[in-house]
Structure 1
Amino acid sequence: MDNEQMSGILSEEDIQEIKTVLENKNLAEAIESVKTIITNIENVPLNVAITGESGSGKSTFINVIRSLNTDEEEGAAITGVVETTMEPTPFSHLKYKNVKFWDLPGIGTANFKAADYLEKVHFSQYDFFIIIASERFKENHIHLAQAIHSMNKKFYFIRSKVDVDLESSRKRRNKSFNEEEMLQQIRVNCIISLRDGGVGEPHVFVLSLMDLQKYDFNRMQNTLEEELPRHKRHMFLLSLPNITLQVLERKRKILNKLNWKWAFLFSAYSTANHTKAYEILQDVLKNHLNIFGLDNNSLIRLSNTFGKDINDLKSVIKSPFASTEINQELIQRQLTKNVAKYRISFENFLSYIPIIGDFITESATFFRSYIMLCESLKDFLEDASNVLQKAMEDST
């Protein structure tokens, strides 16, 4: 295997992690270490505080980021132009209960005091704050940002309801209207207001809460991914709604980081507990389907959102794991199929990670299952992208 092929299978970071986790351990200890790593990653808590003035779109943002189709669905945050949140209210992600978006009381009252506000909403429990404004940032926003900063917490600004500003400008200046220039003007005005208030170099994102695919959603995602601690980043990315190809691709990449761990557990159990080994891969593949929105419930929700026949959405799905029941027989076929797609020898593969051979008698099982999991994620990414495009056809 040459270096280019190797980079497409196991990264240097993965190889070093394997060595760190497995060195100086027996098989039983190595299994427990890998299981602990997975458990810690999948159960890390993430608490995001959402605040702003009444009517700015706090609750709508919480509903949209949790993949709710409307503000009337069961479990949705209550929306309205009048402040409806009197105490910090947590809203768990639909799929990841350890990810919570907190709807905080509005900050637009005349007697608002940032320090008192943060103490009241228990600021220390949040990983970061998102401050939402539906017009230029005001003094209350600035005071709140300063107080959050003084307490060593991260904060990000969202300028919401940009669609309204754009439509108004388009009507007033029909001939000279330029959307990107208008968006940049809104960004600059917000940044200047915040800088003048002593906030420093703020992160400002202009969004349409009715359509997160527009404007700065990808830029916001990139920024948060860069700044969040590694163990929080994983859950944040998985919790994002599947609304852009970039989101889907990021999910594939972070899930790839877990593949060697699942492959190790599968190969470690494959001799002593054949049934348990295949149950591991079944559960992983089903979870990946769910993450990419290819399970039946997710497809039903998507078809309802865009008014599409669910059979039309299913027609563009090619992965056998997404179109057929995931059972041991199917997994066995895919284990053999995917290995043949790589023009490398098993011996060369193990030369990069010889420590695997020290633990697992059937080391080829690790190789086959790892390749299969990586290939299945590529297929899920392609299917999810095709489903999203199909759903959005003629929906402009």
Structure 2
Amino acid sequence: MEDPNDSHPEEIPGVRENLENNDTAAAAARIQQYLERENNVPLNIAITGETGSGKSTFVNAFRGLCDDDEEGAAPTGVTETTMEVTAYPHPNYPNVTLWDLPGIGTAKFPAKKYLKLVGFEKFDFFIIISDTRFRENDVKLAQEIQKMKKKFYFVRSKIDENLHAERRKRDFIEEETLTKIREDYLYNVNMCFVYLPKNKRDTLLFVMPNINPEIIIKKKKAFQSKIKYYATLSAAVAAVPLPGLSVAVDLALLVGAVTHYVHAFGLDIPSLKRLSNRTGVPYTDLCAIIISPLAAAEITKDLLLRVMAQLAGTVALIAAEEATRWIPIIGIPVAMRLSFTTTYKVLNLLLEKLADDAQRVTAHLRTQTPVQCV
């Protein structure tokens, strides 16, 4: 469900006034601070549920790891393996931490005292993992989380096991079985799910695995909503009458933004290698269907310059910006508009190509039937 406020992009306080007063340095500083803050929003996600429901496996899968990875994976097993609250930072986003919590309802962590024992106050929201059927402890936990005015989501685990068991029935229809599971949750979870603040929801969105095309589309839209800030920062820097400064700053901005895109879409080299390891699809096969030269590559200024040179009209816009800056009276305003246009156009085009690559990788995985490690 979409938040209606998302259709009205946030305006950074003070920037409009700075620009109206020709204080472009102050405007640039405000925008830079805003972008740095937005790109490093801390997010603490608590993964909880009953013992054996698959909490640790979920933590690993969410971070793109296999259960048997030697480095960084949460331990899993047929018995309770999580005996204390354990933090697992996301490999691409160190500001995002998944906390693997002990199972609820054990002698050490009884349901009534569970949230206080695990230190509920440090978590932004909870993901409650439940397998096979909706249980009493799941309901109790959700109710207690609501009482403490925290947010939560339910995740049903081990669906593949349920479907495998149901397939033995002669009247089995997969979609009907999945519908029954959904209806069971909706019937039992008769409570409201509170929205996270937009910046935290965006952060959550960016770290989510690309499990379906819709998630990639939402990531793309979230990134598009922020492009105007990068373009405005580019325009503010263009007002400074120093040769080459605007181009240098723009390249640094683009490196940061594009690196963020690549990580969020899982197109950086470490993410693609983890994906290959987790799905069994060879890394070379994944790289073979990628088109953008920015995917599966280290994002540098030189690489971006080469890519931008291939984008129609970009080189001409940059040259025009540098030339017009020195025209008396009208030069600076024109250079600012050109700089805004160039940055806005470049980021949109690069974002489009990377989102398309992410869709290609996801579609390719759907056609493969390798052995899964989770």
Which residue number in structure 1 is paired with residue 346 of structure 2? 372
SS in 1 for 2:226: helix
Q: Does 1:183 align with 2:159?
A: no
Task: Give the alignment partner of residue 23 of structure 1, picking from 13, 17, 23.
Answer: 17
Q: Does 1:312 align with 2:285?
A: yes
Q: Is the 8 A contact 1:263 1:369 kept in 2?
A: yes
Which residue number in structure 1 is paired with residue 191 of structure 2? 201
Q: Which moved more, 1:26-35 or 1:151-160?
A: 151-160
Task: Give the alignment partner of residue 240 of structure 1, picking from 208, 219, 222.
Answer: 208
Task: Give the alignment partner of residue 118 of structure 2, picking from 117, 121, 139.
Answer: 121
Q: Is the 8 A contact 2:54 2:129 kept in 1?
A: yes
Q: 1:111 offset after TM fit, Å?
A: 7.5
Matches within 5 A, 1:1-396: 13-14=8-9, 17=11, 21-25=15-19, 26-109=23-106, 113-171=110-168, 173=169, 175-192=170-187, 194=188, 200-201=190-191, 227-270=195-238, 272=242, 273=245, 274-322=247-295, 326=300, 327=302, 329-330=305-306, 332-334=308-310, 336-337=312-313, 361-395=335-369
SS in 1 for 2:71: coil
Q: Is the 8 A contact 1:169 1:177 kept in 2?
A: yes
SS in 1 for 2:127: strand
| Structure 2 residue ranges without an equivalent (≥5) | 1-5, 322-330
Q: 1:269 offset after TM fit, Å?
A: 3.3
1:296-355 superposed Cα distances (whole Å, 9 cap, x missing partner): 333333333344443433333222434887526325525653699xxxxx9xxxxxxxxx
Q: Is the 8 A contact 1:50 1:58 kept in 2?
A: yes
Which residue number in structure 2 is paired with residue 220 of structure 1? none
AA aligned opposite 2:126: F
In the alignment, the residues of structure 1 paired with residue 232 and residue 307 of structure 2 have an alpha-carbon distance, to the nearest angstrom, of 16
AA aligned opposite 2:72: G
- The verdict on how the C-alpha distance between 1:339 and 1:385 changes in structure 2, with shifts beyond 3 A counting, is farther
Q: Is the 8 A contact 1:63 1:71 kept in 2?
A: no
- The verdict on how the C-alpha distance between 1:323 and 1:360 changes in structure 2, with shifts beyond 3 A counting, is farther
TM-score (norm 2): 0.81
AA aligned opposite 2:231: A
Sequence identity, in percent? 40
Q: Is the 8 A contact 1:90 1:101 kept in 2?
A: yes
AA aligned opposite 1:114: A
Q: RMSD value over aligned CA atoms?
A: 3.0
Q: 1:91 offset after TM fit, Å?
A: 0.9
Q: Is the 8 A contact 1:54 1:81 kept in 2?
A: no
- The verdict on how the C-alpha distance between 1:164 and 1:332 changes in structure 2, with shifts beyond 3 A counting, is closer
Q: Is the 8 A contact 1:302 1:391 kept in 2?
A: no
Q: 1:124 offset after TM fit, Å?
A: 1.2
Q: Which moved more, 1:317-326 or 1:371-380?
A: 317-326
Q: Is the 8 A contact 1:267 1:277 kept in 2?
A: no
- The verdict on how the C-alpha distance between 1:158 and 1:22 changes in structure 2, with shifts beyond 3 A counting, is same
Q: Is the 8 A contact 1:41 1:231 kept in 2?
A: yes
AA aligned opposite 1:183: L
Q: 1:202 offset after TM fit, Å?
A: 6.5
Q: 1:71 offset after TM fit, Å?
A: 3.9
Q: Is the 8 A contact 1:54 1:107 kept in 2?
A: yes
In the alignment, the residues of structure 1 paired with residue 332 and residue 210 of structure 2 have an alpha-carbon distance, to the nearest angstrom, of 40
Q: Is the 8 A contact 1:48 1:130 kept in 2?
A: yes
| Structure 1 residue ranges without an equivalent (≥5) | 1-10, 204-225, 341-345, 347-356
Q: Which moved more, 1:26-35 or 1:152-161?
A: 152-161
In the alignment, the residues of structure 1 paired with residue 113 and residue 138 of structure 2 have an alpha-carbon distance, to the nearest angstrom, of 14
- The verdict on how the C-alpha distance between 1:381 and 1:370 changes in structure 2, with shifts beyond 3 A counting, is same
Q: 1:96 offset after TM fit, Å?
A: 0.8
AA aligned opposite 2:191: E
Q: 1:80 offset after TM fit, Å?
A: 1.6
- The verdict on how the C-alpha distance between 1:334 and 1:245 changes in structure 2, with shifts beyond 3 A counting, is same
Q: 1:24 offset after TM fit, Å?
A: 3.9
1:144-166 superposed Cα distances (whole Å, 9 cap, x missing partner): 22221111112222221122122
For this pair of structures, how many residues does the alignment match? 341
TM-score (norm 1): 0.76
- The verdict on how the C-alpha distance between 1:98 and 1:179 changes in structure 2, with shifts beyond 3 A counting, is same
Q: Which moved more, 1:276-285 or 1:88-97?
A: 276-285
AA aligned opposite 1:262: Y
